[in-house]
Chain A
């Protein structure tokens, strides 16, 4: 069984790698849906690294008035692909109630239209109204983790919280949404009316982002084109002038995720290759020993009429069997590991797929063939006279 260890480790490595990558993919998909995969972001800076930063630094900041103008244009366009634009200012801060406090809360200041672009439902209460937003009322909506931390045994709605020292009344609590790739939690956020946000926390000069919901996510590219045209009108840009804003979509994250996946794949394949190599050497070794121990049996089989390929196949099948057993144990190990990880970290979707099992079995069978070939070939070439005399 020790000889199969290399194969076991190799298969565990390759399946865990596959599970990690497919897990990241599906986690990414669900996170994307959480962000809203039908929402386009208009910002000063593009997502992802830029080299010519000086071309972006001098862009005029976006204003919350842009959102109102965009919405006016959207409403007057008959065949628009866009639904609604919402201004959002963000920063992070501490939220308190009595002695409890939650730090590092993601604060979003937005308009009453925000309800049209978020995907989450309300656990209790509601979003602030347009009127409340416009009049800069000190009301807020809490992410469920914030609400649970500050109000463990009572309803949060109606209670007062201190946001960076300013009092806000809770009007709603969102349902649990989970986190984005396990990194950024949507449940530790607080949503405030943008006017109140600006009054208490400033940030007029820091600029904001516009979130624009589209009607059909299948027409993402066309919707982006339309949005660029509308934004240029809002910004009063002349034809030929370069856009002085960036259109960002959540799918841009995918490009950033690719090098991570590639890294995991390379590391995984390296470990797999190394372990399978060790496993192959082990299997080759026991097959050599098995051939040696059964030299007389090989002689007998040849005397009884076994041809070369019969002997070759006999030992190849043995080495493939050992390798396949190792592979099966590896698959069982890594799927139970996957289940265990799923229990400890429910946010990480790790699952073994049928394709992964088939690949693993093929890889182990291949290892068995490669490892067993030399000893099996040697066995098939034994001189029956010499083999029969062997004691």
Chain B
């Protein structure tokens, strides 16, 4: 991979986080998951977010993925104020702008690959024939055109994660947000998945990978390290 490694120029600003704090109430104790984080992410970046457990890494990921809103601070996604949005507006942003890739794949077990990939399009209100066309197209892009009618339990771990990536891509989102995407895969399959991310990046996608593994993070062009709810370092690599 490293031989073909190129860094593409940044596009316009997608994510603009300014002084974000997140507090959790755990019984009588207040937990400061994020203590004031500022971060700008542009289109066509390949970014890794790293940090040990308890660093606020997951909280930041939930925030970036519009699954959660900050207690304090400012968050704009493509110029829209996410901090002020209600549940259903957040659902809409997630549906159109963010493609999630989970550590545990999170596929619907009773639906085949095609149906799984069609799901975000259903929520977007895309008509059936167009859904099928677009889902077939992205499955071809991740190399699964022969596995479209297989259910998740008939697929290998790597194939499952490819279905999940296809699902993340199908709405052509502004960012792909991957949470430990290789955490449940053997190292060889992990390498294949990271190669797929590299390919997607080179095709112009914006990728954010959350991980605690150094060698996974090294695939990215920029690494943001968190510690105790604050950004410890933010460096471009390669």
Which residues does A use to contact B, with CB under 8 Å? 296-297, 299-308, 310, 384-385, 388
Separation of A388 and B177 alpha carbons in the complex (Å): 14
Q: List 26 A-B contacts (CB under 8 A).
A: A297-B108, A299-B106, A300-B100, A300-B102, A300-B108, A301-B119, A302-B91, A303-B65, A303-B94, A303-B106, A304-B94, A304-B95, A304-B120, A304-B123, A305-B123, A305-B124, A305-B171, A306-B123, A307-B88, A307-B91, A307-B92, A308-B87, A308-B91, A310-B123, A388-B67, A388-B106
Contact indicator B95/A305 (Cβ below 8 Å): yes
Is B96 at the interface (CB under 8 A from chain A)? yes
In the bound assembly, the distance between CA atoms of A256 and B143 in angstroms comes to 79
For B67, give its contact among A303, A308, A310 (CB under 8 Å).
A303
CB distance from B208 to the nearest CB of A (A): 14
User: In the complex, are the beta carbons of B100 and A304 less than 8 A apart?
Assistant: yes
Residues of A within 8 A of B184 (CB): none
B137 at the interface (CB under 8 A from A): no
B18 interface hit (Cβ, 8 Å): no
Which residues of the other chain, A, contact B95 by a CB distance below 8 angstroms?
Answer: 304-305
Known pairs A305-B92, A305-B96, A305-B120 / 9 extra A-B pairs, C-beta < 8 Å: A296-B106, A299-B106, A305-B123, A306-B123, A307-B92, A310-B123, A384-B67, A385-B62, A388-B106
Number of A-B contacts (CB under 8 A): 52
Indicate if B68 sits at the interface (CB-CB under 8 A): yes
Interface of B is mostly: helix
Q: Is B219 an interface residue (CB 8 A)?
A: no
| Contact (Cβ within 8 A) A385 B67 | yes
The residues of A that contact B131 with a CB separation of less than 8 Å are none
Residue of A nearest to B96 (CB): A305
Query: Please, which residues of chain A bring their CB within 8 A of the CB of B119?
Result: 301, 304
Is B21 engaged at the interface, CB distance under 8 Å to the other chain? no
**Given the complex, which residues of A lie within 8 Å of B87, measured CB to CB?**
307-308
* Whole-angstrom CA separation of A182 from B55 in the bound complex: 83
B162 CB-CB contact with A under 8 Å: no
A304 in contact with B167 given A384-B67, A385-B67, A385-B68 (CB within 8 Å): yes
Please give me the residue from chain A that is nearest to B108 by CB atom. A297
Report the minimal beta-carbon distance from B136 to chain A, rounded to whole angstroms: 18
Question: Which A residues lie within 8 Å of B106 (CB)?
Answer: 296-297, 299-300, 303, 388
Contacts of A300 in B (CB 8 A): 100, 102, 106, 108
Q: Nearest Cβ distance between residue B80 and chain A, in whole angstroms? A: 15
Residues in chain A near residue B171, CB distance under 8 A: 305
- Contacts known (A297-B108, A308-B88, A385-B67); A303 close to B100, Cβ less than 8 A: yes
CA–CA, A384 to B102, complex, Å? 13
Instruction: Tell me whether A307 and B94 are in contact in the complex, defined as CB-CB below 8 angstroms, given that A296-B106, A300-B106, A385-B62 are known contacts.
Output: no
Least CB distance, A181 to chain B, in whole angstroms:
54
Hey, which chain B residues are within 8 Å of A303, CB to CB? 65, 67, 94, 100, 106
Q: Are B91 and A306 in contact (CB under 8 A)?
A: yes
Distance in angstroms between the alpha carbons of A74 and B4 in the assembled complex: 118
